[in-house]
Amino acid sequence: MFFVLWLIHWLPRKMVMRLGAWLGDQMRKRNHKRRKIVITNLLMCFPELSDEERHRMMVNHYRVFGAMLMDMGTIWWASPRRLEQIVQCADPEKYRSLTENKRVILVSPHIMGLEASGIAVSRNSPMVVTMKPQKNDLLTLKMHRSRTRFNDSLILMRENGLRHLISGIKAGYVVCYLPDEDFGEAKYTTFAPFFGVQTSTLTTLGRLCRLGKAKAVPCMTRLDIETGIYTFEFAEPMENLSSSSPEQSAVLMNRGLEAMVRLAPEQYMWTFKWFKTRPENQSSPYD
């Protein structure tokens, strides 16, 4: 697999994107289990759309997904000069003003361009990011090396907890935080609306902002499969997180994440079971 991705990263961008779109079409047609999850998620989050519009979003979702997979070799092995051409910040000056000599938590949803996001951030400043170990140890190692190739970034495994994140904030690292997974009903979760659906949501962002004296900035990176360009985008810092209750901070965080996803909804990872945990022991929509 690694050798194939290494070979692909030498191809012209348009060819890589076309191969990726073809791969995405094949995944959509062949993996019935994942396709059903995508259909369920889109129906819950976009009930106002027609079946045809949701189907078009699903097709585009898989094509971007395939392109992102084909592009992993570029993320891992391309030269810094080439990466500067294909991973761009929407407003570099504003980003520098947000992060320079300030404590910042970049809050991102799980979108296709996550690996490119790391490049966009780490080229300018050292970062701290949590990482979930992959089933393949070589893949975990390669992802770790990719995320630390441009700067003195710190990669934490998820089980390390919040204490190390807070230390990173205080040490001047930009923290990349992805809080939108379904962790069930746990000590630091509550139900908060996400696309109008009550969703199991972490309540820790307000605590991170308060203890680290940091501001939280929603961000995302989208991939244009016509040009092969990744664009790193961000919003204004979220307000009142430090002073809000855990429940209210979860509402504010989901609102910021949803706004990012709506910029390019087909690029969100709809193959995940975002709404598996339901309030009042309701059955999972994926059953």
User: Is the pLDDT score of 234 beyond 90?
Assistant: yes
Residue 60 placed within a domain? no
The pLDDT value recorded for residue 218 is 96
What gap in Å lies between CA 121 and CA 125, rounded to an integer? 6
Q: Looking at this protein, which amino acid is placed at residue 241? A: L
> What is the mean predicted confidence (pLDDT) over 89-95?
89
Helices of type H across the chain: 2-8, 13-30, 32-45, 51-70, 72-77, 80-86, 92-99, 114-122, 137-147, 162-170, 204-212, 246-261
pLDDT for the residue numbered 175: 87
User: What pLDDT shows up at residue 186?
Assistant: 84
141 pLDDT band, cuts 50/70/90, is: low
Is the confidence at residue 145, as pLDDT, over 70?
A: no
* Residue 67 in domain: no
Is 75 part of a structural domain of the chain?
no
Higher per-residue confidence, 276 vs 159: 276
Note down the domain range covering 199: 80-281
**pLDDT tens-digit readout, 14-47:** 999 999 999 999 999 999 999 999 999 999 999 9
Domain membership flag for residue 17:
no
Q: Is the pLDDT of residue 206 over 70?
A: yes
Residue 133's pLDDT band, with cuts at 50, 70 and 90, is low
- Write the pLDDT tens digit of every residue in 172-204: 888 888 999 898 888 889 999 999 999 999 999
Nearest residue to 104 (alpha-carbon basis) of 42, 18, 38, 170: 170
Q: Write the single-letter amino acid at 264.
A: A
Task: Categorize the per-residue pLDDT at 95 as very low, low, confident or very high, splitting at 50, 70 and 90.
Answer: confident
In a domain, 208, yes or no: yes
Which has the minimum average pLDDT: 60-74, 142-156, 195-209, 247-261?
142-156
Positive or negative: CA dihedral 134, 140, 146, 148: positive
Q: Is residue 210 part of a domain?
A: yes
**Coil/strand/helix, residue 218:** strand
Contact residues for 10 (Cβ-Cβ < 8 A; gap 6+): none
Task: Answer yes or no: pTM beyond 0.85.
Answer: yes
Q: Total domain count for the chain?
A: 1
Q: Is residue 186 part of a domain?
A: yes
pLDDT at residue 147 greater than cutoff 70? no
Residue 63: inside a domain: no
CA distances from 227 to 92, 113, 255 (A): 20, 14, 30
Mean per-residue pLDDT, 262-277:
97
* Mean pLDDT, the chain, whole residue set: 89
